[in-house]
Amino acid sequence: MPREFKAPQAFEEGTAPTIDLHPVESSQVKAIGFDPASKTLAVTFHGTGTVYHYPGVSAEQHQAFLKAESIGSHFGKHIKHLAFKKYRSEPVAA
């Protein structure tokens, strides 16, 4: 029986709420940002330019992500399953 896949989530209309993105050392994740006021984690990946916003993330979760031995593995285990909004690319701070 063929395996069925969900359609990719559509991009949000308009511009993403501003969250400064900062480069990280990872082969998968390009940059991470966090807005403590809205508790939103922003993540972008190498190659895509797409920015994902994960609402409802605590400051402690953000810090654990930044300090993880492997940012990509941490993302897969602790962030990937969370609800998100997807936006077209935005610049990454140098």
> Where in the chain are the domains?
22-87
At 17-54, the pLDDT tens digits run 889 999 999 999 999 999 999 999 999 999 878 899 99
Specify whether the CB–CB gap between 21 and 69 falls below 8 A: no
At 7-23, the pLDDT tens digits run 678 878 888 888 999 99
CA angle, 34 then 81 then 73, to 5°: 75
Against a cut of 0.85, is the pTM above it? no
